[in-house]
Amino acid sequence: MIRNASEGVIGISGRNPHYFSYKGKEILLIASTEHYGAVINTQFDYLPYLDRLAEYGCNYTRIYPGALLEKAGSWAEEDILAPGNDVIVPWARSDEDGYICGGKKFDLSRWDPDYFTRLRDFIAQAEKRGIIVEICFFNAQSDASWSYSPLYYGNNIQQVGNCPPDTFQSLDNEPLLITQLVYVNKLIQETNEYGNVIYEFCDEPTIGLGNSRKAYEWIDRLVDYAIIVEDQLPRKHLLAQQLEYGVNFADDDRTGLIVTQYVTTRNRQVGSMDGLNNMYYCNKPIELNETAYIPNWIPQESEELKIALSRLESWEFIVGGGAGFNQLNGYFVPSNPSGDDATNLKLLQNLRNLRTFVEGFDYVRMIRDFGTVKNSDIGASVSAMFEKGKQYALYMHHSFPTYTSTFGFGTWYWPSFGDYHTVLTIGIEKGRYKLTFIEPETLTVLEERDLVSTGKTMEITCPRYHLDIAIKITVI
């Protein structure tokens, strides 16, 4: 039996295990969020950030709580995960100079009460706005990040973490492992009271590893330990782990949420649609929690293209039966915490449109649809979900996975704008239906007509569109 969350805590729906339930009703997690540094970067004012999310119906955010930091400029000119000496983490500062970013080293034997005040306030403020907080305890360390972590031996007075970065995701360094477990314990203890929290163990755990088995064994220990900790506390939370080559907890009953990243499988990371196609049978919510980093990875491209990139990923995944989506968003930074930018606001509006479209169905009764569309030679990708004979949701787009020398194949979709007039061959149950064609960018109804099905395959011709189209079929 899959371990679920306590009553009042976001967990798995009892009516459809592919979706979340929170406060007595099913919810989709849909958002576009900052680069995980909202709590650890003291220069980031998270209140306008959370207000902006709530304004557009975004109900999810994701944080790294302190084990991973980045070098300034490594990912973006203004990187929220690279706060330098403005960082605040669970561990208190010592009296000894020498932190790589300036200031005092960390004392791993003492906690910083100011950090936990900030963490708890962030979660409480998110809860007031109906926003779920996914706490990702760890990320794989690399040569670029390891020397900035408080757990690196040069940055703490205990000299814990005197090892190469790939040892971080293993059981090979006992002092480091003990420190990691104590850190997980403390974070769970401090956040147990909140119902709007999900715990994720490690992001990208096997990237850069020659031996992924070690990462699996390490996470296995973390999962067991987190359960022991929570079993002694009032509330139990949903546990999550990213699906990656060598680390697969999708069919493990201890974890209740399957995490994917990017649109196709790349760099050991199992992509969102591959996750849906191959792990849907596990009967758990599946989440896509990291995508193309807009605008940072495509800074010179047009506004239309940036918005389209996000739309293709989000609509394909959620209309295909996904439970949660997060667009990695570089517009939310310390100098602009509300993400006040015309392109960003349109990107957020797209996500609100997606929520409106899916919530226009009784989607909790629907499951991923592998067979309604019968023809595969249409030059487009189609995602769908359905309740047999009653309601069908389809999303079709024209694009192809990108290839870049930095990120590899399939990091995001590249739109193929054109003049499309696609004919779909579909098979639905005998009956009378309302057929509605919708422009995803604006939610404009392009065409609506009655549809009579004899129960045999039939053709439907779409109105003209230039990139993507959503289709709603409901029984009359």
Q: Is the dihedral of CA 20, 23, 24, 30 positive or negative?
A: negative
Rama region for 159: left / alpha / beta (φ>0; ψ in -120 to 50; rest): left
Domain 11-365, CATH: 3.20.20.80
Structural contact between residues 292 and 329, judged by C-beta atoms closer than 8 angstroms: no
Structural contact between residues 429 and 389, judged by C-beta atoms closer than 8 angstroms: yes
Closest C-alpha among 201, 199, 204 to residue 165: 204
Closest C-alpha among 425, 416, 421 to residue 447: 421
Q: Would you list the DSSP string of 46-106?
A: HHHHHHHHHHTT--EEEE--SS----TTSS-TT-TT--GGGB--SEEEEEEE--TTSSEEE
Predicted pLDDT of residue 74: 80
pLDDT in tens, 16-34: 999 999 999 999 999 999 9
Indicate the fold that domain 369-475 takes in CATH.
Immunoglobulin-like (2.60.40)
Give pLDDT < 70 ranges for the chain: 405-410
Predicted pLDDT of residue 432: 98
**Cβ neighbours of residue 253 under 8 Å, at least 6 residues apart?**
1, 2, 3
Predicted pLDDT of residue 405: 62
**Cβ neighbours of residue 157 under 8 Å, at least 6 residues apart?**
94, 96, 105, 106, 107, 108
Structure tokens at 58: 């975004």
Predicted pLDDT of residue 406: 64
The model carries a pTM of 0.97
How many Cβ atoms from other residues are within 10 Å of residue 454's Cβ? 9
Structure tokens at 172: 């090979």
pLDDT in tens, 177-199: 999 999 999 999 999 999 999 99
Predicted pLDDT of residue 242: 97
Would you call the peptide bond into 295 cis, given omega within 30 degrees of 0 as the criterion?
A: yes
Domain ranges of the chain: 11-365, 369-475
